Chains A and B, each alone.
Chain A
Amino acid sequence: MKGTAAHIVRTLLLSLVTLFGVSVLIFLMLRVLPGDPARVLAGLDASAEQVDRIRAELGLDEPLLSQYWAFISGVLQGDLGVSARTSRPVALEIFARMPATLTLAVVATVIGSVVGVAAGVVAAVRRNSVVDHVISSVAMMGVSMPVYWLGLLLILLFAVTLGWLPAAGSDEPLSIVLPAATLGAFSTALVSRMTRASMLEVLGQDFIRTAQAKGAPPRTVIIRHGLRNAFIPILTVISLQFGALLGGAVLTETVFGWPGIGRLLVDSIAARDFAVVQGLVLVYALLFVLLNVFVDVLYVVVDPRIRY
Chain B
Amino acid sequence: MTDALLSIRGLTTEFVTPAGVVKAVTDVGWDLFPGETLGVVGESGSGKTVTAMSILGLVPCPPGRVVAGEVLFEGRDLLRLPEKLLRQLRGRDIGMIFQDPMTSLNPVLTVGDQIAEALRLHDRGMSRDAARSRAVELLASVGVPHPEARYDQYPHEHSGGMRQRAMIAMAIANDPKVLIADEPTTALDVTIQAQVLDVLRTAQEQTGAATVLITHDLALIAENADRVVVMYGGRVVEVADVFAIFASCRHPYTLGLLSSLPRLDVDLEQLEPIPGSPPDLIDLPTGCSFHPRCRLAKGREICRTEVPPLRDVGGGQLSACHFADEVPAERAVVAGEMGTRLGTATS
Which A residues have a C-beta under 8 Å from some C-beta of B?
205-207, 209-217, 220, 224-225, 228-229, 302-305
B76-107 contact mask (Cβ, 8 Å, vs A): 1 or 0: 00000000000111111001101010011111
Question: B90: which of A205, A206, A214 is its contact (CB, 8 Å)?
Answer: A214
**A305 / chain B contacts, CB cutoff of 8 Å:** 107-108, 154, 156
Q: Can you report 27 A-B residue pairs in the complex whose CB atoms are below 8 A from each other?
A: A206-B98, A206-B103, A207-B103, A207-B104, A207-B105, A207-B106, A209-B58, A209-B98, A210-B96, A210-B104, A210-B105, A210-B106, A210-B170, A211-B106, A212-B56, A213-B56, A213-B91, A213-B95, A214-B117, A214-B121, A215-B90, A217-B87, A220-B121, A225-B109, A229-B107, A229-B108, A304-B108
**A303 / chain B contacts, CB cutoff of 8 Å:** 107-108
Flag if A215 contacts B105 (CB, 8 Å): no
Flag if B107 contacts A215 (CB, 8 Å): no
**A211 / chain B contacts, CB cutoff of 8 Å:** 106
Looking across the interface, which residue of chain B has its beta carbon closest to that of A303?
B108
Interface residues in B, total, Cβ within 8 A = 28
Q: A207-B104, A215-B121, A225-B109 are in contact. List 9 more A-B contacts (CB 8 A).
A: A205-B103, A206-B98, A207-B105, A209-B58, A215-B87, A215-B122, A225-B106, A304-B156, A305-B107
Q: Roughly how many angstroms separate A215 CA and B117 CA in the complex, as a whole number?
A: 10
Question: A212: which of B90, B105, B109, B170 is its contact (CB, 8 Å)?
Answer: B90
Question: A216: which of B103, B107, B121, B154 is its contact (CB, 8 Å)?
Answer: B121
Which B residues have a C-beta under 8 Å from some C-beta of A?
56, 58, 87-92, 95-96, 98, 100, 103-110, 117-118, 121-122, 154, 156, 167, 170
Looking across the interface, which residue of chain A has its beta carbon closest to that of B99?
A206
Flag if A215 contacts B104 (CB, 8 Å): no
Looking across the interface, which residue of chain A has its beta carbon closest to that of B90?
A215
Q: How far is the CB of A252 from chain B (nearest CB, A)?
A: 36
Q: Roughly how many angstroms separate A214 CA and B116 CA in the complex, as a whole number?
A: 11
Looking across the interface, which residue of chain A has its beta carbon closest to that of B117?
A214
Most chain A CB neighbours (cut-off 10 Å) among B105, B108, B156: B108
Looking across the interface, which residue of chain B has its beta carbon closest to that of A207?
B106
Contacts known (A205-B103, A206-B103, A210-B98); A215 close to B108, Cβ less than 8 A:
no
